[in-house]
Every structure is written in structure tokens, then in C-alpha cells.
Amino acid sequence: MKLHCTTPTVESKPLSQRTGRSVFLKMECFQNAGSYKIRGIGRLCSESVATGKRHLVSSSGGNAGYAVAYAGRRLGVPVTVVVPVTTSEVAQERIASEGARVIAAGDVWDDAERHALKLAREEGCAYIPPFDHPSLWKGYTTLVDELTAQMDKPDALVLSVGGGGLLSGIVEGLHKHNWNDIPIVAVETEGAASFAASLQAGHLVRLETIHTIAATLAVRQVTPRALEVNALHPVRSCIVSDAAAVRACLAFADDHRVLVEPACGASLSVLYDNAPALEDARRVLVVVCGGTGVSLSILSDWERRFCANSLPASAKKLVPCA
């Protein structure tokens, strides 16, 4: 069963004017489960149920869990989602609203995963990982299938990296359509840049600690596949601050009247700050990955925490952080 929807690709006038480039947005925030995750997770959940599994267990910082909960409801099977205690109440409530059992365990996603794996073994359930599975990556290739029908070939593609599942699937999709020479700007936040650390070391690096507001990027180690695709495709690593990610969320809400999480704001900040990683790209595509753990009140809280002396929305301008 296909559980994701086709999302629009639109040109962003505000970002194009700001950067002097043609900026396009793949609006995955409009997915019926709130983020791009449903493309891969919907595929894997459908496969699991088709093989006879009747209970799905997932670990997640929020978005993957919501996608599993949504898929389970559509497929008619119970779902348990284990989230770290740092996952916002909004995200937990939205997961529960799909009928899933939500368990909070551990400070970061890695802790939640250990609990979920133990639960899946004990209860004989199918474990649905948030980023490390070939079926997930195959599901994310559908995003590129749509892109090739919606726009001409861009000069660069910007996406956020947490566990590396989206990166892995996008590279597979680009090669499928012979767009294998498009550079990918892979964006992480400071304090959770395990992919950048792995690239620098030449092997997988597991971070000892994670400190970032972008909860859905808070993974100590990326999938090994992320390093494999890096060897196959031009990838530019880019690290941004939490403050930059939050400023981009605020600006995007102002410019496009859409709320996104800092995990998505990280990628958007590359455009709002016209980062050097874009180099001379004239046509840029950004995957607006979305997020379920955001609301107006949460966005206001992020603004108070990270940005000082905010201007009114009508100013259409970001405020430098203190």
C-alpha cells in the first residue's frame, strides 16, 4: 500500500531574492505524516505487515515514530513507539493521536533504540528502524522520481542529515535518473555532526555526547551506508548552529507561512545565510523535510531561547542571535 503522497516543488521568491539564486523547495512538510519519513517508513511497514507481522515497534526522536504510527493505523496493526525523554510533548501527543502506544526512555535516540529493540524481541514484533534499512532508502527514491517530473535539473541539492537515511535514498534516486553529478549539501547541527566527524576520520565515528535543539537529528552515529554513498556521489558537508536553524524556522514561517522543526531549519539556514557550501550553484533545491514536533508556542519558545530583540513578522528580516 502506498502511504505517502506526491508533494509540490515550488520556487521560493523570498529565498531567491535573498540569495541571488533560483531556489526551489520540495515541500515534504506537506506529507500526510508530517515529513518525508513516511516515504521510506510506509514502504517498510507495508512490507512487514505483508509478511505477517501484526505489531510494529519503532524508536524515534519524533518524525519516524509518527510515520510508523500513521502507517500502522492505515494498515490496521498496533504500534509502539519508544522516544527519548527529550522528545517534545507535542510530538508525543501527535504520535499517540494515531493510536500508538508511546514510551519515553533514555536521554537520546540511541537509548530509545535499545529499549525498542528489547521490546520487539520480547513481544515478537517487527522493529522499524528510523533510518538504517534498504527499504527506507528505496522509499526515499520516490522523492527524486517526483523531482525529475517537476523541475529541471538543479545545480545543488540541500538536505539535512541525522542518521543518514534520507541522504542514502536521495543518492540512490539521483543515480537512478542519471542526476548523479548534482552536488548534495549535507547539513548537520553543531553538537550532532556525526556524519562530518566520520568524513573527517575516514571511518564511522560515534559521538560521545549530543547537544542540539534539532532533536530529530540527534543521532550518535550515521548509518554505514552514508559513508558508502559519499564515495559514490559528490557530497559537501555543512555544519550550522542551533541558532541558525532556529532563525531559519522563524524566517520560513514568516516568508512561507509554514512551520518546520530545527532539523529542517538547518537546511533552510544554508540558503538564508547563503553558506559557502553552495559555491556557484545558480539553481538550488532544498528538501523541506518538515517535522511533527513544532507548534506556534514551541516556535516562540525557540525564539526566546536563541534569538534576542525579535522584530515583528512584518519586518521580514531575521534578527541576529545574541
Residues 68-98 have pLDDT tens digits of: 999 999 999 999 999 988 888 888 999 999 9
Residue 207 has pLDDT above 90, yes or no: yes
Segment 307-320 shows an average pLDDT of 46
Residue 314 has pLDDT above 70, yes or no: no
At residue 215, the pLDDT reads 83
Beta strand residue intervals within 54-125, DSSP E = 56-59, 79-83, 101-104
Nearest to 30 by CA among 252, 289, 271: 289
Q: How many CB atoms lie within 10 A of CB 219?
A: 27
pLDDT tens per residue, range 168-200: 999 999 999 999 999 999 999 999 999 999 999
At residue 123, the pLDDT reads 85
- Amino acid identity at 74: R
Q: How many CB atoms lie within 10 A of CB 315?
A: 10
pLDDT tens per residue, range 237-261: 999 999 999 999 999 999 999 999 9
Residue 322 has pLDDT above 80, yes or no: no
Grid cell digits, residue 75: 494498515
Nearest to 281 by CA among 13, 21, 14: 21
Q: Where are the alpha helices (DSSP H) in 151-295?
A: 165-176, 194-201, 224-232, 242-256, 262-272
Q: How confident is the model at residue 321 (pLDDT cuts 50, 70, 90)?
A: very low
Grid cell digits, residue 268: 533552510
pLDDT tens per residue, range 141-178: 999 999 999 999 999 999 999 999 999 999 999 999 99
At residue 109, the pLDDT reads 85
Domains delineated in the chain: 9-35+134-315 (3.40.50.1100), 37-128 (3.40.50.1100)
Segment 301-313 shows an average pLDDT of 70
Grid cell digits, residue 80: 509502539
At residue 318, the pLDDT reads 39
Residue 319 has pLDDT above 80, yes or no: no
Q: How many CB atoms lie within 10 A of CB 306?
A: 21
pLDDT tens per residue, range 101-151: 999 988 888 889 999 999 999 888 999 999 999 999 999 999 999 999 999
Segment 63-70 shows an average pLDDT of 94
Model confidence, pTM: 0.91
At residue 308, the pLDDT reads 62
CB 45 within 8 A of CB 70: no
Grid cell digits, residue 182: 548534482
Residue 297 has pLDDT above 60, yes or no: yes
Q: Give the chain's mean pLDDT.
A: 92
